[in-house]
Amino acid sequence: MSDVYSRAGDAADPPSLSPAYRSTVVRSPSRPLISIPQTLSEITGPVYGHSDVKPEEADLTTQHAGEPLGERIIVKGRLLDEAGRPIPHSLVEIWQCNAAGRYIHVVDQHPAPLDPNFTGAGRCVTDANGNYQFITIKPGAYPWGNHHNAWRPAHIHFSLLGPSFLTRLVTQMYFPGDPLFAFDPIFNSVSDAKARERMICRFDMDTTRPEWALGYVWDIVLRGPATTPLDDDHD
């Protein structure tokens, strides 16, 4: 039973210590890891249904009295296992900054406006074919103080629960063609170029709705050779 959900061997994951990404210096383990056997409580997980997660929680543009400022987008894709099989009925959570690059968070005090019509958090449950979909606004770039003139590329944070607590993946989705990729130590802490590409969604005209919103598609693979890299810091 042990290690059925281990991510060890998913070479796409960034090392826990990436010195250019400053907070990893104090956060990464300094001693060898201790292996703990997996038990039933770890290899099972909660089951979410439509009574627990409401469809409107997947629309981040309708949580307040007015609409948020920014570019409305649709983000959708499939949650897959290492064999490309869909993972149905699984919780997908997202959080992001607003169009001006500001989070509603006490630590985020940089001089960009908050949007009273945007909280920046949503969730949904994958359907029988592993599909998820969110409506939101495109997040802005923001400064993060890691080094001189440090700016994060636009990104949306994702938490994927998968079939068990041990398959939970926390990562970030990026947008195609972002000029900040080359300068971002978090994005580049994933050393394999192909693995980095798996963190970038693709623009999709079929998902784009006329007169309303651009569409982006991003499939997420929880394990195996095509796994989506882990990217679990909150910056």
216 is annotated as an active-site residue: no
Q: Which of 78, 102, 123, 157 is catalytic?
A: 157
Q: Which of 21, 78, 132, 142 is catalytic?
A: 142
Closest CA to 234 of 21, 46, 29: 21
142 is annotated as an active-site residue: yes
Q: Which of 123, 152, 198, 223 is catalytic?
A: 152
Q: Which of 21, 78, 103, 223 is catalytic?
A: 103
152 is annotated as an active-site residue: yes
Pairing of strands 151-152, 169-174: unpaired
Asked if residues 138 and 96 have their Cβ atoms less than 8 Å apart, the reply is no
Cα–Cα distance measured from residue 46 to residue 197, given in angstroms and rounded to the nearest whole number = 31
21 is annotated as an active-site residue: no
Q: Which of 102, 123, 155, 196 is catalytic?
A: 155
Each residue of 202-213: b (16+ CB within 10 Å) or e?
eeeeebeeeeeb
117 sits in which H/E element: none
50 is annotated as an active-site residue: no
Catalytic residues: 103, 142, 152, 155, 157
